[in-house]
Amino acid sequence: MKDRNWKIPIFVTLSLFGGVFLIHRVSLFRDVISGAGDAKTITTTIYATLIAILLALLALAITAYIFVAGFLKDQQKPYEKKSIDSLLRIYTACLVILTISSLLSLLCCFWIDNADKPVPVADWMPPVVIAFSSVVSLFLLVYTCCVICHDGCLRIFARYARKKLFSEKGKSAPPNQIDGVFKWIGDIEMLAERLIQNHKDSFHAPDDQSVLSSITSKKFVEDYEKLISYRDYLWVEKYDSRRGSLTCSEYDLLRGTVRELEELLREQFLEGERLQKQSFTAPFLSLSTVPLCLNGTVFTNSVFEKNPNPKDSEKLEGIDLHKAKLQGADFTRARLNFVNLRGANCREAVFSDAVLNQIRADGESCFERAVFQNTDFCGQKFSDQNGVMRFKSASFVNALLINCLFAWCDFRQATFRQAVMSSVTLDSVCLSYADLSGAVLTNAKLGFQQEKGSRFGWKEYWLSAQLDEEEWPLPPFIDSWEGRRLGPAFFVNLEACVLSQACIEDYNFVGSRMSDANFSDALLKHCILDRCYGQKATFQETVLENCRFAFAMFSLSDFSHAHIVDCDFSNCDLRDSLLVQTDACKKGSAGPCFRKANFTHAQVRGGCFINCDFTLALFEDADLRDTVFEDCGFEHVSFADCRLQGAKFLRCNLESADFRGLDPALFEITDCTGKYNLDKPPENQ
């Protein structure tokens, strides 16, 4: 970290304080040393000095702590978070202890030195107080220096956080030509030079070989130097005579040596290293099949390229990171082209501002808590034939997911804030507790497969409070409805999400937040939206087919020109909502249901409602002008204070309906049944 700019002023301040204090107190110290002055003067000088030192060092320690805490919080990178948090906890605890000790020392010094009468204390107390204050001052000074020079502490925490992972040796890779030999040795040389560069300042070694030996082993350095010399001779032979050849035994010996070095690099020496701004071209460390151990390794601004001259059987093959250990690895601003991440552990890896092109992953790959902020997925496809791809708690903030496909993926608690997901396909994914606020899913497709059984087990993907004693989903957290499976999307945050022209089928969004969401011109089919919070949501020209909005809150929402088919809005809050030219009709056995729905101050104008159930619905001060209600039920509904100009009630059940206070000439009641209250009955009643 580049933090020397603020360290220099603190060191200068500490030095100036010490110099000024010595100059200011030099006469008093001279009296103390020579024995001049009375005992009271000497005692006062000692206590005053201790008080001044304690106050100054305490202020300086607190100032340094504030500077360091603010700097580390602002400048930390994702992979440094654990070390920084641990360091700050220790700093905070030490500062609290030192502050309490300093205040106690100050009180003792002030009490003993400033009493009007001789203080009745034991003879041993003044020396003890002076000694204790001196020790506290020393610890404050040491603490301040440790806070200022925190780099070493961070290195210790980072070093202990790394884990050494070992695997069994795999089979040899197929033989390569001489150009392949150059590629083998070139990759090892690039990594060795990078290791030397990373650790050259840490080891006071006379040459690069000594540095490499310090961070690897003497055997590694010997084999490495042999390979470099061999490569140089082979290079001269190849380009002087324009031909080169290797004997079988020579090739096997070279191949074995390269494989041994690759195994050491893959298993040990690359973990946690800085490999930023590098270019990796396939095949890379391909002789060894030992899984790469790259936990915490930094690949910032690096490029991973596919093989420029692949064989017929290796077309479009890129760098193989199969079953690699990439936990906490940093791929910020990296370009990953055709990289094989099947079975890789990318938990907590960072892909911010990266470009992922034709990445290969499967159900054994793990991206839990990974960071994909501002990442461009280039139409990437993530799917597995049998398993579930894990993206739990991953962050896709501001990511570009245009035309991507995600099938059988676990996005529980994942974050997609402000992500661009136009034309994305979410096929049979788990979205429970995910955050898609502000995301753009224009023309997106969300569906759940019906042909095969669900891969989302109740015990793993449902909370214990959502299951009954027999571990079956409790209503409304059901995974099937009316003979169709539903995808789990409980408590999703869709606030200000743009889902215009999207196609959403077979999902359970119970308890989700949809305020200011835009579903214009979208299709919602066979979805459950019970108890959703969708204030100011937009459903203009939306097709709602066989959906359930029980106990949902969609006040101030806009359903204008929407087409509602067999939907259940029972107990739904539609206050102040717009249903202008909205039509609702029956297609299946049960028509649209608005039982106990609240249409207070709603504008239900110019629409057509056929075979709808409005029993016990509230229409207080609602605007129902020019609306046609055909074969609908309005049992116990009051239309007091409603605007019914041009409204038509055709063949409706108006049992106990209340039209009192309204002018019957302004609306039409034809062939309706039931006893209802009307100030002046129509002529044909």
At 387-401, the pLDDT tens digits run 899 999 999 999 999
On whether both 82 and 198 belong to a single domain, the answer is no
Number of domains in the chain: 2
Which residue shows structure tokens 């040393």? 33
Whether residue 15 is contained in a domain is answered as: yes
Query: What integer is the mean pLDDT of 550-579?
Result: 95
- Reported as a pLDDT band with limits 50, 70 and 90, residue 385 is confident
Whether residue 235 is contained in a domain is answered as: yes
For residue 453, pLDDT over 90 is answered with no
Angle at 214 between CA 212 and CA 215, to 5 degrees: 70
DSSP state letter for 304: E
DSSP state letter for 573: B
For residue 91, pLDDT over 90 is answered with no
| Dihedral, 126, 131, 134, 138 alpha carbons, nearest 10 | -160
> Of 228, 253, 269, which closes a domain?
269
Domain span at residue 255 reads: 178-269
Per-residue pLDDT tens digits for 473-495? 888 888 888 889 999 999 999 99
Query: What integer is the mean pLDDT of 499-520?
Result: 95
- Reported as a pLDDT band with limits 50, 70 and 90, residue 38 is very low
> Of 243, 269, 295, which closes a domain?
269
On whether both 189 and 73 belong to a single domain, the answer is no
Percentage of residues of the chain with pLDDT beyond 70: 79
For residue 335, pLDDT over 90 is answered with yes
Phi and psi, residue 251, nearest 5°: -65, -40
Per-residue pLDDT tens digits for 427-440? 999 999 999 999 99
> Of 269, 289, 318, which closes a domain?
269
On whether both 136 and 246 belong to a single domain, the answer is no
pLDDT of the residue at 32? 42
- Reported as a pLDDT band with limits 50, 70 and 90, residue 85 is confident
Range with the poorest average pLDDT among 36-45, 79-88, 148-157, 553-562: 36-45
pLDDT of the residue at 137? 76
- Reported as a pLDDT band with limits 50, 70 and 90, residue 685 is very low
Ranked by mean pLDDT, the top range of 3-17, 236-250, 271-285 is 271-285
Whether residue 114 is contained in a domain is answered as: yes
pLDDT of the residue at 257? 81
Per-residue pLDDT tens digits for 116-132? 555 555 556 666 767 77
On whether both 74 and 11 belong to a single domain, the answer is yes
On whether both 189 and 237 belong to a single domain, the answer is yes
Whether residue 444 is contained in a domain is answered as: no
Which residue shows structure tokens 């390229």? 305
Helix pair 208-215, 218-241: axis angle to 10 deg: 130
Per-residue pLDDT tens digits for 98-116? 777 777 776 776 666 665 5
Per-residue pLDDT tens digits for 170-228? 333 334 466 777 788 888 888 888 888 888 777 666 777 787 877 778 888 888 887 77
On whether both 122 and 21 belong to a single domain, the answer is yes
Nearest to 555 by CA among 572, 567, 543, 542: 572
- Going along 330-466, which residue ranges are E strands? 335-337, 355-357, 381-382, 389-390, 405-407, 409-410, 425-427, 445-447
Query: What integer is the mean pLDDT of 265-283?
Result: 87
pLDDT of the residue at 283? 84
For residue 415, pLDDT over 70 is answered with yes
On whether both 154 and 233 belong to a single domain, the answer is no
Strand order in the sheet with 279-281: 279-281, 303-305, 335-337, 355-357
3-state SS, residue 643: strand
For residue 333, pLDDT over 80 is answered with yes
On whether both 246 and 99 belong to a single domain, the answer is no
- Bigger pLDDT: 460 vs 556: 556
Range with the poorest average pLDDT among 13-27, 60-74, 126-140, 639-653: 13-27
Whether residue 685 is contained in a domain is answered as: no
pLDDT of the residue at 160? 45
Whether residue 329 is contained in a domain is answered as: no
pLDDT of the residue at 122? 52
Whether residue 318 is contained in a domain is answered as: no
Whether residue 126 is contained in a domain is answered as: yes
pLDDT of the residue at 37? 43
Per-residue pLDDT tens digits for 52-82? 777 777 777 788 778 777 777 766 655 456 5
Q: What b/e string do you get for 546-561 counting C-beta neighbours within 10 Å, with b at 16 or more?
A: bbbbbbbbbbbbbbbb
On whether both 140 and 204 belong to a single domain, the answer is no
Query: What integer is the mean pLDDT of 18-36?
Result: 47
State if pTM tops 0.85.
no
For residue 418, pLDDT over 80 is answered with yes
On whether both 153 and 9 belong to a single domain, the answer is yes
On whether both 56 and 116 belong to a single domain, the answer is yes
For residue 150, pLDDT over 90 is answered with no
CB atoms inside a 10 Å sphere around CB 530: 22
On whether both 192 and 259 belong to a single domain, the answer is yes
pLDDT of the residue at 68? 77
